[in-house]
Amino acid sequence: MALFKTKEPIILSYVWDNPTITKNLPFEEQRFLLVKIRPLELPPLPKVNLILVLDKSASMEGDPLENLKKAVREILQILDDDDHISIILFDSEAKVLVSNTPASHRKEIRTRVEDIFPIGGTSIDEGMELGIQEAEKFRAPDVLSWMILLTDGKNEHGDNKRCLDLAREARKKGINISTIGLGRKWDPKLLEEIADLSGGKMYFVENPEDLKERFVKEFQSIKNVAYRDVSLKVRLEKNVRMSDVSPVFLVTPQIKKIEPLWDGTQWIIEIGNIERDKEKLLLFQLFISEPESSYISKIFEYEIEYKTTLGERQTTQTHNVVLEVTESYISQFNEEVRETLERLSLYIQQELAEKYIDEGKPLEALTILQTMVQTAVKFENETLRKLVEENIKKVKAEGSLPDEYRIMTKYQTKMVEE
């Protein structure tokens, strides 16, 4: 593993599938690069602007709503006094329950939370729009704005496209959105896209009793952010290009496809936020032709750009990613890179199987699902193996997959670490 010694607050290391490349390469070679980025210095904890956008539709009646209230009460207890909180409720429409308020007013906020009652349908975009408006009331360079969106249903009274447009708008305004789907009747594709577009995470909570734990863990993760809006600026050598299909994947904490942005001189890979005690993994798919050097071949140079928790934008020094050039081919494949590729393949296969089912091609979907079983066995993941086998039974019997199977399979393949 290549590791750069530096006094900079963020460090990058990398592992190649094969750390060598042949000198007289007769063709363009596909290569995989696993990049690891982690913080070295731990800055002050961020001041958080927390926006809760919560489903209170009729289906939330009973245990779901009571457990949601418990979760909100717990969040109020662990917020610092100088953090802020807003609470938006939505059913067929949306309303502001608690306008942007310092968490020190927790007693009054708690009283309002107790008055929530379930009614109506589900309009997620209405809630998101009000949430963004409330977030804007507490903007400052040293404030981290984060929305937690919870729903137990599909956006039956709303507009999914508008949800995605609002997620993009939130990202531009520096608001991340984490989504929580409760139960087995929500739209996993929509909640995943909202989270991915805004730089948040997607979660599946099957039992209402687990809501408090999920909310607390996610808030702790938010409070743990060390560096914000992290991006990798990459300048490839002339003999190197990124793959035209799926060039970069974010691997941890959740798998996400990244589309690099070209600014005319370099590629920009937006990584998002980095937590204090966590490492972010990215997998690059590159194509490399004959190296110009005869010993060490530079593949690309890069800088890491980021914001501190105080809102200061900074950039690291320039560093190089290299390969060793050899006279003849050396056969080897790094096991960590291989395992990462197999994890990614599970997620990609899940996406492809769903696509085939939606296109009315159950036989093609079955072929993909059977491959997933083999990969799950290799990982000794019994939970996923059994789940995919249940998927296969459903597709064979009905030619389709119910929402609950899609939800569980997507979450199992997307989530790499907590």
Q: What is the mean pLDDT of residues 268-283?
A: 96
Residue 196: predicted pLDDT: 97
Residue 6: predicted pLDDT: 54
Contact 174, 147 (CB under 8 A): no
Summarised one tens digit per residue, pLDDT across range 157-184 is 999 999 999 999 999 999 999 999 999 9
Which residue matches tokens 């009000």?
130
Closest CA to 332 of 17, 26, 2: 17
Query: How confident is the prediction for the chain on average, in pLDDT?
Result: 95
Among 296, 326, 356, identify where a domain stops. 326
Contact 247, 255 (CB under 8 A): no
Distance CA 348, CA 368 (A): 10
Cβ within 8 Å of residue 246, ≥6 positions away: 257, 285, 348
Summarised one tens digit per residue, pLDDT across range 2-14 is 654 457 899 999 9
85 and 208 fall within a common domain: yes
Distance CA 344, CA 353 (A): 14
Q: What is the mean pLDDT of residues 334-357?
A: 96
Residue 302: predicted pLDDT: 98
156 and 193 fall within a common domain: yes
Q: What is the mean pLDDT of residues 355-361?
A: 96
312 and 286 fall within a common domain: yes
Q: Is the dihedral of CA 342, 348, 350, 352 positive or negative?
A: negative
The CATH number linked to 263 is: 2.60.40.3670
CA distances (Å), origin 93, targets 85, 87, 103, 125, 138: 21, 14, 26, 9, 24
Q: What is the mean pLDDT of residues 293-319?
A: 94
Q: What is the mean pLDDT of residues 138-153?
A: 97
For residue 307, the enclosing domain spans 2-43+225-326
Summarised one tens digit per residue, pLDDT across range 30-89 is 999 999 999 998 899 999 999 999 999 999 999 999 999 999 999 999 999 999 999 999
| Burial of 21 from C-beta contacts in 10 A (0-12 / 13-18 / 19+) | buried
408 pLDDT exceeds 60? yes
Q: What is the mean pLDDT of residues 259-279?
A: 96
Among 169, 204, 223, identify where a domain stops. 223
77 and 124 fall within a common domain: yes
Distance CA 63, CA 136 (A): 32
pLDDT band at 361 (very low <50, low <70, confident <90, very high): very high
How many other C-beta atoms are found inside a 10 Å radius of the C-beta of residue 2?
A: 14
29 pLDDT exceeds 80? yes
Q: What is the mean pLDDT of residues 295-322?
A: 96
Bridge partners, residue 177, by sequence: 147
Residue 26: predicted pLDDT: 87
Q: What is the mean pLDDT of residues 316-338?
A: 94
| Burial of 224 from C-beta contacts in 10 A (0-12 / 13-18 / 19+) | middle
The CATH number linked to 110 is: 3.40.50.410
52 and 89 fall within a common domain: yes
Q: Are strands 175-182 and 47-55 parallel, antiparallel or unpaired?
A: unpaired
74 and 182 fall within a common domain: yes
Backbone angle region of 198, left / alpha / beta, with phi > 0 → left and psi within -120 to 50 → alpha = alpha
233 and 214 fall within a common domain: no
207 and 136 fall within a common domain: yes
CA distances (Å), origin 227, targets 39, 115, 182, 243: 8, 37, 30, 28
Domain count within the chain: 3
209 and 68 fall within a common domain: yes
Q: What is the mean pLDDT of residues 374-386?
A: 92
How many other C-beta atoms are found inside a 10 Å radius of the C-beta of residue 412?
A: 18
320 and 359 fall within a common domain: no
Residue 262, phi then psi, degrees to nearest 5: -100, 120
Residue 418: predicted pLDDT: 64
Distance CA 416, CA 418 (A): 7
Q: What is the mean pLDDT of residues 382-389?
A: 95
Q: What is the mean pLDDT of residues 253-267?
A: 96
Among 261, 292, 326, identify where a domain stops. 326
255 and 206 fall within a common domain: no
Q: What is the mean pLDDT of residues 216-244?
A: 97
Q: How large a percentage of the chain has pLDDT more than 90?
A: 92
Residue 5: predicted pLDDT: 46
219 and 110 fall within a common domain: yes
Closest CA to 21 of 36, 31, 12: 31
pTM for this entry: 0.94
pLDDT band at 24 (very low <50, low <70, confident <90, very high): confident
404 pLDDT exceeds 50? yes
Contact 115, 98 (CB under 8 A): no
